[in-house]
Structure 1
Amino acid sequence: MAAENSSSVTEFILSGLTDQQELQIPLFFLFLGFYMVTVVGNLGLMILIGLNSHLHIPMYFFLFNLSFIDFSFSAAIIPKMLMSFVSKNIISYAGCMTQLFFFCFFIFSESFILSAMAYDRYVAICNPLVYTVSMSPQVCLLLLSGVYGMGVFGAVAHTGNILFLTFCADNVINHYMCDILPLLELSCNGSYVNVLVVVIVVTIGIGVPIVAIFISYGFILSSILHISSTAGRSKAFGTCSSHIIAVSLFFGSGAFMYLKPPSILSLDQGKVSSLFYTIVVPMFNPLIYSLRNKDVKFALKRTLGRISFS
């Protein structure tokens, strides 16, 4: 009987961000603009890092992958979201599960790439003499394997959890994407176990990276306070400031969405909150790392100079 009920829902309707008709077209152009900035910013940063050999160091290796994750993350969410502003946004059951899988994969990957970047800053500031050895290409690839491995873990755990649910009749998802909590609410056999799985997996995806980042920055702060010169302290803080801003934006919005009880945060409020980590964070990350980074600005000037000269 469960199989019959689950097969009766072959497609979902994404309700979108708002049902106010007068806002649909303005919001379409607003988020289209956000998406274009996100694509240009992240692709541009990836190309810039690839073309400039002085950026081929661990810090920019991880930044390249952060831009790749942000670019792919936005591509998995925003185009489908834009459709909800101009037409009835229908997504097949398979398409919904696919979007959920990649959404979870990139969310988890971004969490752990930010913690890998924190570890890189820890080694650079606290153990600079062994930086080359501690952050060798082999170590960087191992860390990156862990990042994407945790991405796969999060995606499989969450998607598998949702695949066990039954959707009986109602097929309108109160969101602009196939997210975990709206699907749980829509199902007709969601149980405490399903919610518990979500809480445990999200806690791992957010908690473990946050703990790693706090430990790294605890050592970094201790090391910086032992630097005698003001210029040295300022330089050390400067190398971490962009990363701290990116971490605050991403984990702050994610924790607000997933670690609050539904009684405190409704799904309608959750849609607004999720805009930060699905749209704002991928758009701002390349701006944060380019506008506040001398090496990136120098590489951009040199690359533009080459293009102008040719």
Structure 2
Amino acid sequence: MEPNETFIILDGFMDLEKYRALYFIIMFTAYVLILCSNCTIVCLIWIHKDLHEPMYFFIAALLLNSVLFTTALYPKILTDILSKQVVSYSTCLFQWFTFYAIAGAEFWLLMMMAYDRYMAICKPLQYPTVMNKSKVNVLLAVAWIVPACQVAITITAASQRKLCTFIFRGIICNSTVYKLHCVQSAALHIWGIFVLLNLTFVPLFFNCFTYSRIFIITTKRGPEVRRKALQTCLPHLVVLFNFCWLGTFDVLLARLDAELPKMVRVIMSFQLILYHPLFNPIIYGLKMKKISTHLKRLFCAGKNNKVLM
């Protein structure tokens, strides 16, 4: 432990002494389910050659993003539940970075998926040439690197600010850490708005525009084309809507933190870190026909093996 290390008290859990076991069981169970469900579909996409298409590579990247998110946050949360809710400022900044870098990557991956669907449905003749393996790799790299770099600038600037308050009203560090600073930075606030617009509203606008174009074009091509387009686009739209809905929780936590009761803050925080990583594999596992088929074969094979034993 460094002698000059700054520590922050996490005051996000409600009645921790009373509900410690319940909190731990919920978080640990969720962590295992998130890892198992997401990794299962990622492995299926990796193993089966009929899933080696750009759309499924983007789905695998999205699910891998959920694994990275939970692995970066959950072990520390579980440790906090079992011990003292104290975190070093450097660890707090890392949580802040992880939370928004991966959330931003989620929006950008969904934007890349919208672009992929647009090319596949609206420009099918150009699709094999445009969405080749190297292009997919570049899009995936951009989706992860751009958000990480922008959030890293925010964290670097925040790390230079002096703290006057050491009690954080939350279970993981996010943008509300700036409320602990002695003096609010106008430059940091402006940069934060820019990052918010670039990582969320730009991808959201692109998604709305792209799926609108897909709907307009497929409407002109007949009901059968529209039905097939809806089958592949609907899961992405559901995931996008769900993530945007949960994203509003973070905004509300940041803006209304002082006015929100502790129970409400706990529930909203749990929604952010529990619900979405579990929601994605369920949607793609049930709604994507090829993935659903492979999942059924996997579980049926497992049942047959048990019968034989």
Is the contact between residue 9 and residue 167 of structure 1 (CA under 8 Å) also seen in structure 2? Answer: no
CA distance in 2, matches of 1:236, 1:68: 25
Code of the residue aligned with 2:139 in structure 1: it is L
Match of 2:280 among 278, 285, 303: 285
Give the counterpart letter for 1:290 in structure 2. Answer: G
Maintained 8 Å contact 1:58/1:135: yes
Superposed, which structure 2 residues align to 1:23-62 within 5 Å?
23-62=19-58
Q: By how many angstroms is 1:102 displaced?
A: 2.0
TM-score scaled to structure 1, two decimals? 0.88
Q: Does 1:130 align with 2:126?
A: yes
Counterparts of 2:89 and 2:66, CA distance in 1? 25
Report the equivalent of 1:69: 65
| CA shift in 2, pair 1:32/1:232, >3 Å | same
Paired AA for residue 50 in structure 1: W
Q: What's the RMSD between the two structures over aligned residues? A: 2.5
Q: Is the 8 A contact 1:78 1:279 kept in 2?
A: no
Match of 2:184 in 1: 190
Cα distance in 2 for partners of 1:111, 1:84 equals: 29
Secondary structure in 1 matching 2:229: helix
Distance 1:282 1:263, change over 3 A: closer
* Cα contact 1:35–1:283 (8 A) shared by 2: no
Alignment of 1:1-310 (within 5 A): 10-19=6-15, 21-168=17-164, 170-181=165-176, 183-229=177-223, 231-258=224-251, 262-263=255-256, 266=259, 268=262, 269=264, 272-304=267-299
| Number of the residue aligned with 1:3 | none
CA distance, structure 1, for counterparts of residue 208 and residue 26 of structure 2: 35
1:73/1:103 contact within 8 Å kept: yes
Q: CA deviation at 1:285?
A: 0.4
Shift of 1:273: 3.1
Decide whether aligned partners of structure 1 residues 63 and 261 sit closer, same or farther in structure 2, where only a CA change above 3 A counts: closer
Taking the aligned partners of 2:289 and 2:184, their CA distance within structure 1 comes to: 51
Task: Name the SS for the 1:13 alignment partner.
Answer: strand
SS in 2 for 1:25: helix
Comparing 152-161 and 285-294, the one that deviates more: 152-161
Amino acid across the alignment from 2:167: V
* Native 8 Å contact 2:154 2:188 kept in 1: no
Identify unmatched segments of 5+ residues in structure 2.
none
Q: Secondary structure at the match of 1:226?
A: helix
Deviation at 1:294, TM superposition (A): 1.2
Task: Name the amino acid aligned to 2:220.
Answer: H
SS of residue matched to 1:167: coil
Q: In structure 2, do the counterparts of structure 1 residues 261 and 159 end up closer, same or farther at CA, with 3 Å as the change threshold? A: closer
C-alpha contact (below 8 Å) 1:49/1:56 kept by paired residues: yes
Residue 260 (structure 1) shift: 8.3
Contact 1:81 1:176 in 2 (8 A): yes
Q: Aligned in 2, Cα 1:127/1:259: closer, same or farther, shift over 3 Å?
A: farther
Pair 192,99 (structure 1): closer, same or farther in 2 beyond 3 Å: same
Distance 2:129 2:252 in 1: 38
Identity of counterpart residues, as a percentage? 27
**CA offset at residue 187 of structure 1?**
1.5
Closer, same or farther: CA 91–256 of 1 in aligned 2, 3 Å: closer
CA distance in 1, matches of 2:18, 2:207: 43
Alpha-carbon distance, 1:164 to partner: 2.3
Q: Which runs of 5+ in 1 are unaligned?
A: 1-6
